């Protein structure tokens, strides 16, 4: 029994294995309060800590957070610099806690565009948490799904050129093993805050059968209560993967019998 699920009245058997969140609305949160945009990003980082801890406690296997997109490099230099500063601060401050909490940390995206000291901080945390066995915390940084897919295609072409695989061998499994998210469980749940109804180049391949949740809350206001509410909605959704409702309930009954054994 998981006491955190119990306290939040969540059914541990109906939780997503992997949640992806587009943490949007930091700038609007700050503007509403007549604060500079960076104040919204700062508050956003506090929410990252809260949501990450909660997801780990209830037994989520992987959490992927969209922190900075490939397209966000187009923002004013001052804002990009401010976000990078927050990132440094976050990794330095959280290194010990993430490592000791058994979290497995990874960054996905084109890290070559990040400054060398940030790359070092990230690599050190990835290395120190590599053998951890708890939740995967995956931060999408300088990330764009198109770029990720193209990198995967290049890796596959190299393998073909080296005669390690034949073109006919290329299947979903091989393709997924070349994505930045390789080894993570399938994405079950997608959340975007701030009332924007788009995916903005986030995990396009992985979203194929995820349940989508768009909500109006600005990310700096997105708390554990809100996540619990969405998780309850998730638990009521019927995921059919192309099958009929009858087939789905038959499968559920079968696995219930199997679990009872």
Site residues for ligand IPE per CB under 6 A: 22-28, 66-69, 71-72, 83, 194, 196, 198, 200
Element (H, E) at 176: helix 172-177
Q: Which is nearer to ligand IPE, 8 or 64 (CB)?
A: 64
Q: What is the separation of C-alpha 252 from the centre of its chain, rounded to a whole number of angstroms? A: 27
Residue 24 makes contact with Mg ion by CB under 5 A: yes
CB 40 within 8 A of CB 210: no
> Which listed residue (6, 11, 57, 72) is catalytic?
72
What's the min distance (Å) between Cβ of 24 and Mg ion? 4
Tokens of 224: 């554990």
- Backbone conformation region of residue 150, classed left if phi is above 0, alpha if psi is from -120 to 50, else beta: alpha
Binding residues with Mg ion: total (CB under 5 A): 1
CB 134 within 8 A of CB 55: no
| Closest residue to ligand IPE using C-beta atoms | 27
Active site residue 24: yes
37 is annotated as contributing to ligand binding: yes
The partner in contact with residue 22, picked from ligand IPE, Mg ion, none with C-beta cut-offs of 5 to 8 angstroms by kind, is ligand IPE
Tokens of 250: 């038959």
Residue 29 makes contact with Mg ion by CB under 5 A: no
Please list, residue by residue across 191-228, b when 16 or more beta carbons sit within 10 angstroms of its beta carbon and e when fewer do.
bbbbeeeebebbbeebeeebbebeeebbbbebebebbb
The partner in contact with residue 198, picked from ligand IPE, Mg ion, none with C-beta cut-offs of 5 to 8 angstroms by kind, is ligand IPE
Question: Segment contacting Mg ion (CB under 5 A): 22-30, 63-71, 141-149, 167-175?
Answer: 22-30
Tokens of 178: 């070349």
The partner in contact with residue 109, picked from ligand IPE, Mg ion, none with C-beta cut-offs of 5 to 8 angstroms by kind, is none
What's the min distance (Å) between Cβ of 66 and Mg ion? 10
Active site residue 169: no
249 is annotated as contributing to ligand binding: no
For residues 113 and 119, give the distance between their C-alpha atoms in angstroms, rounded to a whole number.
9
Query: In the range 153-212, which residues lie near Mg ion by CB under 5 A?
Result: none
For the annotated catalytic residues, the residue numbers are 24, 72
Instruction: Please report, as ranges, the residues that interact with Mg ion according to CB under 5 A.
Output: 24
């Amino acid at each position: 029994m998981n006491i955190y699920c119990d306290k939040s009245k969540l059914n541990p058997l109906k939780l997503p294995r992997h949640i992806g969140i587009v943490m949007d609305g930091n700038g609007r949160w700050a503007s509403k309060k007549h604060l500079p945009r960076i104040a919204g990003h700062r508050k956003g980082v506090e929410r990252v800590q809260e949501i990450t801890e909660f997801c780990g406690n209830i037994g989520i296997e992987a959490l992927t957070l969209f922190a900075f997109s490939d397209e966000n490099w187009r923002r004013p230099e001052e804002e990009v610099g401010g976000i990078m500063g927050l990132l440094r601060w976050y990794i330095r401050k959280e290194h010990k806690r993430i490592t000791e909490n058994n979290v497995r940390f990874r960054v996905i995206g084109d890290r070559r565009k990040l400054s060398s000291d940030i790359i070092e901080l990230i690599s050190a945390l990835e290395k120190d948490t590599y053998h951890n066995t708890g939740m995967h915390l995956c931060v999408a940084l300088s990330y764009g799904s198109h770029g990720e897919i193209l990198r995967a295609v290049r890796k596959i072409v190299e393998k073909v050129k080296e005669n390690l695989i034949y073109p006919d061998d290329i299947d979903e499994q091989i393709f997924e093993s070349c994505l930045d998210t390789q080894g993570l469980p399938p994405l079950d749940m997608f959340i975007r805050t701030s009332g924007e109804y788009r995916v903005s180049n986030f995990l396009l391949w992985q979203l194929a059968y995820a349940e989508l949740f768009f909500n109006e809350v600005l990310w700096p206001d997105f708390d554990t209560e809100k996540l619990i509410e969405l998780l309850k909605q998730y638990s009521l959704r019927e995921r059919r993967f192309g099958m009929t409702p009858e087939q789905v309930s038959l499968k559920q009954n079968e696995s219930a019998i199997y679990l009872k054994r």
